Amino acid sequence: MSNANFIDYVKIFCRSGKGGAGSAHFRREKFIAKGGPDGGDGGRGGHIILKGSRNRWTLLHLKYQKHHFAEHGGYGASALKSGADGSDVIIEVPMGTIAKDVETGEVLVEVMEDGQEYILLEGGKGGLGNNHFKTSTNQTPRYSQPGIPEQEAWIILELKVLADVGLVGFPNAGKSTLLASISAAKPKIANYAFTTLTPNLGIISYREGLSFVMADIPGIIEGAAEGKGLGLRFLRHIERNSMLLFMVPADEENIAKSYYILLDELKKYNPELLDKERLLAITKSDLLDEELKAMIKPSLPDINYVFISAIAQEGLTELKDEIWKRLNT
């Protein structure tokens, strides 16, 4: 999917339907001069409903459809006939979408499953007809209830990519190259910062027909947690990954320092991210011989690591073994 087609943030305006008014009608037929109240109830206004769909991968379809209005409920009628309920509006979103109230910032719902539904705004209830208000002392009530008004609100929708493994690293760490080499995904690859502007998902085949999903998260830069670059936009996609694969190139001046900078950005953004399983991949390891690897190892951070090269196809089987072990322990 092209960068232009991947939309992970939209703001939409929603309005539910108002309830229909109840009827204040009286039964009038030949030979029945005083038939009593027979006003029906008003119909319910339509809801605004958010629904998870496995067929959606982006919020692109909502970028140009900012307003969503549900139908109003119908009025009650004579002969105790109720008004029709207003049609609901169902907004389909990808799994991993969060809905927030613009005014309060409150998270209303996290859509995590296909078919999951949540009523963002309830339609107004229909008013009662005058038939409900007759009593022994008031047999001809000439009033009925109005319908309950509609609700309206601006809603923020944010998409957080769902994957088993999230790739974490600075721009040009080799994340896209790795994903392209071990899956059928075709991310854009070039030697300049922020080649990847949107997450790319790839299904990684493992032994005996098993597989897991890997997400190439756009590169993080120092200060991302404070919003530097496109940091906040990138970091939210990491929250949904089961484990994190940190990637630092072998030609980095200080591999441990780079790793801790990345770790610190995640901690600043959301300390709970540090509870996830972590693995370090030292990329571009075809630049190193065994002697250089031995020299580097004592200076590496205290975390399990694998030397890999996507270009030379080195260490990739070991990497997949390590990932699978952590996903299933």
How do residues 141-164 score in pLDDT, each as one tens digit? 999 999 999 999 999 998 877 788
d(CA 194, CA 198): 9
Check: CB of residue 287 under 8 Å from CB of residue 174.
Answer: no
d(CA 277, CA 283): 19
Domain ranges, ordered by start, for the chain: 1-159, 163-327
pLDDT digits (tens, 9 = 90+) for 229-269: 444 556 667 777 889 999 999 988 899 999 999 898 888 88
d(CA 45, CA 232): 38
pTM of the model: 0.68
C-alpha triplet 191, 193, 199: angle, nearest 5°: 100
Q: Please give the structure tokens belonging to residue 229.
A: 């670059």
Residues 6+ positions from 287 with CB-CB distance below 8 Å: 250, 251
Check: CB of residue 186 under 8 Å from CB of residue 180.
Answer: yes
* SS3 category, 219: coil
- Strand 277-283 to 305-307 pairing: parallel
Name which of 204, 214, 218 is nearest 168 in CA terms. Answer: 218
In the chain, the amino acid numbered 198 is T
Task: Please give the pLDDT value at position 32.
Answer: 74
Q: Please give the structure tokens belonging to residue 78.
A: 């004579």
DSSP string across 124-174: PPPPPPGGGG--SS-SS----PPPPPP-EEEEEEEE---EEEEEE--TTSS
* SS3 category, 189: coil
Task: Please give the pLDDT value at position 219.
Answer: 60
Task: Please give the pLDDT value at position 199.
Answer: 67
d(CA 147, CA 27): 22
CA dihedral sign, ordered 29, 31, 34, 35: negative
Rounded to a whole number, what is the largest CA-CA distance in the chain? 109
Please name the fold of domain 163-327: Rossmann fold (3.40.50)
Task: Please give the pLDDT value at position 223.
Answer: 53
* SS3 category, 316: helix
Which parts of the chain have pLDDT scores under 50? 1-3, 187-196, 224-231
Task: Please give the pLDDT value at position 194.
Answer: 40
Task: Please give the pLDDT value at position 198.
Answer: 60
d(CA 237, CA 8): 9
Kindly report the CATH class assigned to 1-159: mainly beta
Check: CB of residue 123 under 8 Å from CB of residue 96.
Answer: no
d(CA 236, CA 223): 15
d(CA 323, CA 320): 5
- Strand 277-283 to 211-216 pairing: unpaired
Residue 294, Cβ density class (10 Å: 0-12 exposed, 13-18 middle, ≥19 buried): exposed
